[in-house]
C-alpha cells in the first residue's frame, strides 16, 4: 500500500481525476491477458511526457515500483504489477503527432491503438505492417515494449524493424531521445532498439517514430486443407523453399478449426490442419502468385485449395483466424484455454517437426491443445485446455510446458517469437539465454539502479510460472 502523501503528490502531478484508487478498478488493472493477476496499488493516467517524468522522479526518490501499461493485452504477465507500486496507464497519451509519408515515417504517442493508426494512414496509401491478433486494442507503446508482430512478420518484419526513434523517460525521470528520422542511421549505439522488447523494465516510452510501408494495390487469400498436420507443416516450408514470400502464412489445427467453426460459424474446412496464405501486389502478380501457391500446396498434399479476392470474404477468413483465442476459451464447459507455452518460434523448415512433437507431448499428459500460428515465419502458438481450478492440472501442464520448450530449443528455436517473457516464460528464457543473462542484468542495473521499473520480471523472475494465478485454484 502506498502512503496518503504519495497519492496526494500523484494527484498534484496529473490531477485528482487521473489517479485511480477505487478497489474495483485496481482489481481490473491487476489483469493482463495472461494467467497471472495481482491488484494494482494505484493507477495514474498522465497526459504528457512532463507528467510522466515527474511521476517517475517521485517513484525513484521513494524507491516505489513503476509499471508502464498500455491496453493490458500482454500474454505473459508483463502488465501485472506483481510488486505493486504505481501503474502508469499511457492510454491518455494517444495522439498521432506527425505524418510524413514523403519521409516514410509517422510520430505517435504511446497510447495510440494499432488499428486506429492504420485507419488514419490508409488514405495516404501507407501502413505500419506488424498486424498482431490484438490489433483493435493494443497500443503502440505496448507493441514496442514487447516487440509485437503478427501474421505479416514473414514479409514485413516485427515492430523492432519499424522503430526509427524513441523518446523515453528513464528511471531517474530524465527525458532522452534516441534514434533518428532518417532511413539510414549508423550514428553510434542503436539504443532505441534496446528499448524494443524491454517490457517496461528500462523506462517509459513517451513518443515513437515508426517507419511506414506503402499499402499493396491488391490482396488475395488461399485456404488449403490437409489430412495431417505434418503435411500442413511441410506445406509451409515448401512455399518458402520455392522462393516465394507470401505476406501471411498461417496454420490452424483441427482443435482450432472446430472451436472457431462452433464459436463463429466460420465454415472453415474441418480437417487435420489448414494453411491460410495471403498474396499481394498488382493484379497480374496476384494472379500468377495464386497459381504458384496452389501448385505448391497441392504438391504438399492439400486435398482442397480455394482462394478468394473478395475483400468481404477475406475479412471473414481473417476474422475467423483472429477468433481462435476467444473461441478456444469457450470451447469446453469445464476447461478453459490458457497461455502457457504459447509463442515458440522455430526455423521454418522445423515447423512440421514442432507441431507433431507438441501434439505428442500434450497427449502424453492427457491434455487437449490447440495449435495455430504464424507458421510462415516459424512462430507457433499452443493453447492448453485445462480445468483452471485443478492444482493437479496446473502441475502437469507445467511439466508439459517444460518439455515443449526443450523440444523447441533442440529444434534451434526460441521460447518467444512475439509475446515476450515477463513471468510465464522467464525460467525458460533464462535457460535459452544463459550465456547473456549476466550482461542483461548489468544493462538493467546501469539504467535502473534502484530497480523500480517493472521489477522481478524477465531475467529477475526467480520462481516457477504457476504463480500469482488469476484462477481460484483448489476451489470447487
Ligand atoms: C487476443 C490477443 C491476440 C494477440 N495477438 C498477438 C499477436 O498476434 N502478436 C503479438 O506480438 N502479440 C499478440 N498479443 C499480445 C499483446 O497484444 C501484445 O504484446 C501487445 O503489444 C501488448 O500491447 P498493450 O498495449 O496491450 O501492452 P500492455 O499489455 O499494457 O503492456 C505490455 C508490456 O509493455 C510495457 N509497456 C506498455 N506501454 C509501455 C510504454 N509506453 N513504455 C514502456 N513500457 C510499456 C508494459 O510495462 C508491459 O511490460 C495478443 C494478445 C491478445 C489478448
pLDDT of residue 84: 96
| CA pseudo-torsion sign 113, 119, 120, 124 | positive
C-alpha 73 to ligand 1 mean position (Å)? 5
From residue 296, alpha-carbon distances to 147, 222, 244, 385 in Å are 32, 12, 10, 33
In the structure, which protein residues have their CB atom closer than 6 angstroms to any atom of ligand 1?
A: 32-33, 67-75, 78-79, 90, 110, 132-134, 138-139, 141-143, 145-146, 148-150, 199-200, 204-205, 325, 418-419, 454
Under 8 Å between Cβ of 305 and 235 = no
C-alpha 31 to ligand 1 mean position (Å)? 12
The number of beta carbons lying within 10 Å of the beta carbon of residue 18 is: 17
**Closest ligand 1 atom to Cα of 326:** 1
To test the ligand 1 pocket, which listed residue (46, 89, 132, 205) has its Cβ within 8 A of the most ligand atoms?
Answer: 132
pLDDT in tens, 44-92: 999 999 999 999 999 999 999 999 999 999 999 999 999 999 999 999 9
**Closest ligand 1 atom to Cα of 32:** 29
pLDDT of residue 325: 86
C-alpha 147 to ligand 1 mean position (Å)? 9
To test the ligand 1 pocket, which listed residue (90, 146, 169, 176) has its Cβ within 8 A of the most ligand atoms?
Answer: 146
Nearest to 61 by CA among 454, 455, 450, 456: 450
The enclosing H or E element of 321 equals helix 311-322
Under 8 Å between Cβ of 119 and 77 = no
Closest residue by CA, ligand 1 atom 28? 72
Closest residue by CA, ligand 1 atom 2? 134
To test the ligand 1 pocket, which listed residue (29, 30, 148) has its Cβ within 8 A of the most ligand atoms?
Answer: 148
To test the ligand 1 pocket, which listed residue (142, 150, 320) has its Cβ within 8 A of the most ligand atoms?
Answer: 142
The number of beta carbons lying within 10 Å of the beta carbon of residue 235 is: 28
Nearest to 42 by CA among 88, 73, 104, 76: 88
Measured CA to CA, the distance from residue 289 to residue 339 in angstroms comes to: 35
Closest residue by CA, ligand 1 atom 27? 142
C-alpha 253 to ligand 1 mean position (Å)? 25
pLDDT of residue 326: 87
Average pLDDT for runs of 10 along the chain of length 476: 95 98 98 97 98 98 98 98 97 98 98 98 98 94 97 95 98 98 96 98 98 97 96 94 96 95 93 97 96 97 96 94 88 85 94 94 94 94 92 95 97 97 97 97 98 97 94 79
| CA pseudo-torsion sign 459, 464, 465, 467 | negative
Grid coordinates representing 31 are: 489483469
- According to DSSP, the residues that pair with 223 across neighbouring strands are 276, 306
Q: Which residues contact 388 (CB under 8 A, 6 or more apart)?
A: 336, 338, 394, 469, 471, 472, 473
C-alpha 213 to ligand 1 mean position (Å)? 22
Under 8 Å between Cβ of 254 and 273 = yes
pLDDT of residue 476: 62
pTM of the model as a whole: 0.97
Amino acid at each position: 500500500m502506498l502512503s496518503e502523501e504519495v497519492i496526494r503528490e500523484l494527484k498534484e502531478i496529473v490531477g485528482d481525476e487521473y489517479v485511480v484508487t477505487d478497489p474495483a478498478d485496481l482489481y481490473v488493472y491487476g489483469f493482463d491477458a495472461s494467467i497471472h493477476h495481482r491488484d494494482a496499488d494505484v493507477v495514474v493516467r498522465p497526459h504528457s511526457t512532463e507528467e510522466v517524468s515527474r511521476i517517475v522522479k517521485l517513484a525513484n526518490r521513494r524507491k516505489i515500483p513503476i509499471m508502464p501499461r498500455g491496453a493490458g493485452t500482454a500474454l505473459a504477465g508483463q502488465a501485472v504489477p506483481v510488486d505493486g507500486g504505481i501503474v502508469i496507464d499511457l492510454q491518455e497519451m494517444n495522439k498521432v503527432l506527425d505524418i510524413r509519408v514523403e519521409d516514410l515515417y509517422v510520430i505517435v504517442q504511446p497510447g495510440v491503438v494499432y488499428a486506429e493508426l492504420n485507419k488514419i494512414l490508409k488514405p495516404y496509401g501507407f501502413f505500419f505492417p506488424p498486424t498482431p491478433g490484438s490489433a483493435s486494442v493494443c497500443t503502440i507503446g505496448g507493441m514496442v515494449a514487447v516487440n509485437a508482430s503478427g501474421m505479416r512478420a514473414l514479409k514485413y518484419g516485427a515492430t523492432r524493424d519499424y522503430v526509427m526513434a524513441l523518446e523515453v523517460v528513464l528511471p531517474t525521470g530524465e527525458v532522452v531521445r534516441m534514434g533518428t528520422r532518417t532511413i539510414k542511421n549508423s550514428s553510434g549505439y542503436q539504443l532505441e532498439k534496446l528499448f524494443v522488447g524491454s517490457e517496461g523494465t528500462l523506462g517509459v516510452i513517451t513518443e515513437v517514430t515508426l517507419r511506414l510501408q506503402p499499402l499493396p494495390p491488391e490482396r488475395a487469400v488461399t485456404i488449403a486443407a490437409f489430412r495431417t498436420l505434418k503435411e500442413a507443416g511441410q506445406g509451409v516450408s515448401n512455399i518458402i523453399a520455392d522462393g516465394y514470400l507470401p505476406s501471411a502464412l498461417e496454420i490452424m489445427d483441427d482443435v482450432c478449426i472446430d472451436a472457431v467453426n462452433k464459436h463463429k460459424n466460420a465454415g472453415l474446412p474441418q480437417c487435420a490442419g489448414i494453411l491460410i496464405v495471403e498474396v499481394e501486389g498488382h493484379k497480374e502478380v496476384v494472379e500468377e502468385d495464386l497459381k504458384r501457391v496452389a501448385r505448391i500446396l497441392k504438391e504438399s498434399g492439400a486435398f482442397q485449395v480455394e482462394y478468394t479476392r473478395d475483400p468481404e470474404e477475406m475479412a471473414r477468413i481473417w476474422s475467423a483466424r483472429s477468433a481462435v483465442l476467444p473461441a478456444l476459451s469457450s470451447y469446453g464447459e469445464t476447461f478453459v484455454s490458457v497461455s502457457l507455452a504459447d509463442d515458440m518460434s522455430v526455423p521454418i523448415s522445423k515447423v512440421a517437426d514442432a507441431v507433431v512433437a507438441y501434439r505428442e507431448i500434450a497427449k502424453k499428459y492427457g491434455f487437449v491443445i490447440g495449435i495455430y500460428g504464424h507458421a510462415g515465419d516459424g512462430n507457433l502458438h499452443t493453447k492448453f485446455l485445462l480445468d483452471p481450478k485443478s492444482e493437479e492440472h496446473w502441475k502437469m501442464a507445467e511439466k508439459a510446458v517444460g518439455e515443449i520448450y526443450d523440444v523447441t530449443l533442440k529444434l534451434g528455436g526460441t521460447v518467444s517469437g512475439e509475446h515476450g517473457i515477463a513471468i510465464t516464460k522467464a525460467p525458460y528464457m533464462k535457460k535459452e539465454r544463459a550465456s547473456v543473462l549476466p550482461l542483461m542484468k548489468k544493462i538493467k542495473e546501469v539504467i535502473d539502479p534502484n530497480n523500480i521499473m517493472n521489477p522481478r520480471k524477465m531475467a529477475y523472475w526467480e520462481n516457477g510460472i504457476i504463480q500469482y494465478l488469476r484462477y481460484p485454484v483448489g476451489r470447487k
